[in-house]
Chains A and B, each alone.
Chain A
Amino acid sequence: MNEKSIVEQLEAQFGDQIVAVELDAIDQWIEIQPASLIEICQYLRDTDGIQLEMLNCITVVDYLQTDPKKAAKLDWEPHLEVVYHLSSISHKHSLVVKLKLDRWQDEDQQLLPDVPSVSQIWSTADWHEREVFDLSGVNFTGHPALKRILCPEDWVGYPLRKDYQMPQEYHGIRGR
């Protein structure tokens, strides 16, 4: 089954929860609502014929142009995209699922955006989500133990965000 027919099946099942579909890209992707992530992922993993049983990677891309001149020419608003790469070992096909999020739930209080955790569906998501939380600042609700994995436990800030500044000092070591 190729990606096109997977997408067709998904659209038939979930219809309105699929925000966008891009089949002409090099890696075809679909964009869905964060709220329906768990349902759709469960469907993708368990349905015969699709069976995307392996979660290869979770990535977060920060769409924020810090340079104001370049930002003026862009046609998108600052946002975060959570990208899930899924693949099937039994059927040798793959799919990319994307979510669009606001960069902050509440910027003043530095509240991170929420995404439901898929660690109950694919156990590998446990560590991938911790890494995404650590480096890009996305809060995964329902995660068993969401804490930093690569940076030290008491690190402040989310390094892979475009507006991240290295701290002046960390435990007496000069940052910049």
Chain B
Amino acid sequence: MAELINIRLGLEGSAFGSIAAAVIHALLLLHVVAVGALVFIWMERKIAGRIQDRLGPTRVGGKFGWLQTLADGLKLITKEDITPQNADKMLFKIAPYVSFAASYAAFLALPFADGWVANNVNSAVFFVLAVLGLEVFGVILAGYSSGSKWSLFGAIREAAQVVSYEVPLGLCVVVPVFLAGTMNLVTIGNMQAGYFTNWFVFHDIFTFGTFWIFFTCATASVNRAPFDLAEAESELVAGFHTEYSGLRWSFFFMAEYGSMFLVSGLGAILFFGGWHGPIPLMSILGLPESGVLGNYLANLAGCVNFMLKAVVGVTVMMWVRWTLPRLRIDQVITTCLKYCVPLASVCFIGAVGWQVLDLPSPSDWHLGTGPAYKVHEEWATHTNNSAASGADDRGPETTEQYQRESDQLLPPEPDDADKPLTGSSGSPRSLTATPLGQELSP
């Protein structure tokens, strides 16, 4: 995008383009997080109401209370800014921003559609998990600096919980990374193009199990019930954000809902095909190949698809929250160490074994795509020859490029002369789009 801006404004080579691109991306993501939080809070109140046999917000903004959160947000902004006397002023003030920044920064590497990502980091999975783990700093700072013992309790519990759950979370995430052979989220998403049989969650029974463990660990790492003792109302008044009110408090909640969306989105990409739907509607309609506008529309549909999947994940988290009681901290850690870690390890070994032994899986049916990639071998080959092939270090942007590059490295198959190679209609170029600014090599 940076170069495109430069070209349009005739400022080739200057930094203006990059800065402008960065600002645009940042604003877009900020909208996703902020408006997302708005929508999620409304959704939570409605879902909670319905589960509890009542209605939820029904007045502000029409019959369904659409604008309730906006009204609440306005109220929070106009509240008096109270800092407790015993609080460490500076830490107290920056804590919510640290939390929010961590949650927001992780969005930088989360793709919403093919190529629609602020920064296509090659090790995106690793980046997202690492940055997400920084959110706990905000919580610890908040609890510690509030000058209240209750907040401190909440903060310490949260620290223990998040740190413990990073282990099984990492183990769960490694399984689809292993299946895909890359940590690049765009590539992982594109690998699951076509019908839902290509989705990693249906790849084998162990990956299926991994998804459920991933979801549990993700719920624990964003502090949602039944693992929400950091903000346990009935014991700690409000836990680490007891002393917060007004805008500072709302930042914590934007961070929480942002993280919920993030881990659900991550799960959607890793397991449920990301922006590729259960049926490859866009490629059936032939949109991606019909010019730039068609390509854009296909990507837009993919983005909407992705967001829907993430929203489903968030809805399930809310549903669970309003149904189940809360676990005690020692039970939370027990669940992690005695249940999640061993189960995740077993699933990991199982998935690895499945791949190594080359056991059959639904993705072998290639519904909606070209021949299956034996990606793991080529990934290894590709990195060895990356300099030779002339590709830049950011790795292959599109699957088409990938296929092209990998095919250059493989010896040609002797028999299958009519075996489709690059650029055939069956391959998932249906949803490829070059990221703005990177032209398709001739």
Physical contact A–B (CB less than 8 Å): no
List the interface of chain B (C-beta within 8 A of A).
none
